[in-house]
């Protein structure tokens, strides 16, 4: 079976939460016999196809952006061409240009869209986009919500319950590098033996301004990993608050990220708006057996982090509550260890890449069989391979 993924950004150009999820989908289903291709946009000049971890990445030039909506004229022909070669086209929402491209390219193959997030910020533009969005979501064969929490709280998904499934995100720890002793020693010397960690792109909905307010007048060490549009404002805020206990380390490679995840005392994930639909770095913290702190925003963050079990959940945009949660974990190391162990156990029970891949393979098969029954064609064979542990 051949599956085409279409999203605005992907490796090696961009490393974010959705890119990581698509990567895990491709690697996981690839082990089950699916041949995956990813079509994405790029600012780079050399756009030859790339072989990446068992799947192929096709990139086309990004022509312009309108309200963070990446657009590419050449992607329309590429989508039409690659869709003809695929058995299933897998879209990743939200990306309004993708909706338009689907119709212009006249994609006739079985289609599934993973619904990563509601559109929260651009209220005025959302009203203009609404008719296209509704037409697109009506046209696809299946929609996937990434957690029961998001399915129940999204006003958009509520309109499409009859075609929506829940398949949670999953990660494969085997795709992460092993902790490097030299890097562990480097970060332990630089940061110290006990610290809270945040990992992610520094965006408006991450709630990092709340985290900075929460640790003002405390001595809790906080390490912030990542870069992004809010970086300058956050550094100004930290300077204004006189924070000596917060370290901005910028974007780091996978080896450094793994070292910091290994060393950290707990993961702080203060996203306060529903634009944070799941939280891949929160899931990474669980995978590494760390106690978690997150906010209750009605999204997948509270599906990952169960209050009082795998960590602590606070109201959003509440520095005092966030500080109290940090104090509780900091002052109770045995509680923190137990919560971290339960977070790791929940990860293994619910959030592995193998489980996600199995769910998507079953959905792909169902859509192809349904499409074949309607058209009278023969469904493509799928070679089911034993899961790899490499």
Percentage of the chain beyond pLDDT 70 is: 96
Mean pLDDT across 20-32: 96
Can you give the pLDDT at residue 247? 98
Calculate the alpha carbon distances from 186 to 11, 233, 287 in Å.
27, 28, 23
pLDDT in tens, 217-232: 999 999 999 999 999 9
Distances (CA, A) of 91 to 140, 176, 222, 286, 376: 9, 25, 36, 27, 25
pLDDT tens digit sequence for 313-365 = 999 999 999 999 999 999 999 999 999 999 999 999 999 999 999 999 999 99
Looking at the chain, the number of H-run helices and the number of E-run strands are: 14, 16
DSSP-assigned letters across all residues of 281-305: HHHHHHHTT--EEEE-SSSTHHHHS
pLDDT of 183 higher than 70: yes
Are 323 and 270 contacting, i.e. CB atoms less than 8 angstroms apart? no
Q: State the angle between helix axes of 96-104 and 74-85 in degrees (0 to 180), rounded to the nearest 10.
A: 60
| Reported confidence tier of residue 68, pLDDT bands at 50, 70, 90 | confident
Q: Please state, rounded to an integer, the average pLDDT across all residues of the chain.
A: 93
CA-CA distances (angstroms) from residue 324 to 234, 237, 238, 327? 21, 21, 19, 5
Look at residues 161, 103, 111 and name the one whose alpha carbon lies nearest to residue 133. Answer: 103
Query: What is the H or E stretch that residue 221 is in?
Result: none
Q: Is the pLDDT of residue 135 over 80?
A: yes
Q: What is the pLDDT of residue 298?
A: 86
Taking 80 as the threshold, does the pLDDT of residue 389 lie above it?
Answer: no
- Which of 376, 306, 383, 296 has its CA nearest to residue 339? 306
The reported pLDDT for the residue numbered 379 is 58
Residue 194 CA, distance from chain mean position: 27
Q: Residue 377: its pLDDT value, please? A: 62
pTM of this structure: 0.88
What does the pLDDT read at residue 388? 41
**In angstroms, what CA-CA distances link 238 with 121, 148, 266?**
25, 36, 21
């Amino acid at each position: 079976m051949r599956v085409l993924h279409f999203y605005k950004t992907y490796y090696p150009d961009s490393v974010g939460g959705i890119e990581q999820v698509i990567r895990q989908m491709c690697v996981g289903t690839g082990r089950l016999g699916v041949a995956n291709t990813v079509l994405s946009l790029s600012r780079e000049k050399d756009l030859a196809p790339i072989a990446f971890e068992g799947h192929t990445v096709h990139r086309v030039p990004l022509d312009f952006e309108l309200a963070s909506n990446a657009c590419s004229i050449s992607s329309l022909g590429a989508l039409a061409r690659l869709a003809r070669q695929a058995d299933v086209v897998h879209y990743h929402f939200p990306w309004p240009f993708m909706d338009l491209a689907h119709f212009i390219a006249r994609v006739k193959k079985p289609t599934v869209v993973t619904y990563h997030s509601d559109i929260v910020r651009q209220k005025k533009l959302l009203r203009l986009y609404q008719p296209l969005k509704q037409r697109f979501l009506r046209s696809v064969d299946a929609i996937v919500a990434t957690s029961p929490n998001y399915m129940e709280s999204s006003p958009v998904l509520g309109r499409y319950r009859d075609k929506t499934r829940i398949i949670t995100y999953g990660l494969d720890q085997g795709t992460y590098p092993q902790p490097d002793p030299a890097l562990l020693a480097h970060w332990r010397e630089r940061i110290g033996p006990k610290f809270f960690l945040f990992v992610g792109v520094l965006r408006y909905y991450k709630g990092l301004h709340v985290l900075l307010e929460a640790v003002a007048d405390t001595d809790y060490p906080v390490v912030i990993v990542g870069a992004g549009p809010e970086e300058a404002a956050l550094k100004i805020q930290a300077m204004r608050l006189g924070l000596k206990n917060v370290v901005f380390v910028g974007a780091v490679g996978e080896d450094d990220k793994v070292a910091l995840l290994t060393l950290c005392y707990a993961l702080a994930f203060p996203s306060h708006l529903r634009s944070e639909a799941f939280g891949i770095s929160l899931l990474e913290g669980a995978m590494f057996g760390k106690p978690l702190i997150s906010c209750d925003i009605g999204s997948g963050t509270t599906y990952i982090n169960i209050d009082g079990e795998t960590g602590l959940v606070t109201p959003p945009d509440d520095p005092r509550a966030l500080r109290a949660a940090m104090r509780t974990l900091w002052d109770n190391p045995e509680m923190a260890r137990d919560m971290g162990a339960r977070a790791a156990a929940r990860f293994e029970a619910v959030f592995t890449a193998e489980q996600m891949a199995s769910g998507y393979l079953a959905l792909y098969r169902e859509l192809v069989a349904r499409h074949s029954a309607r058209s009278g064609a023969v469904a493509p064979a799928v070679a089911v391979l034993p899961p790899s542990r490499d």
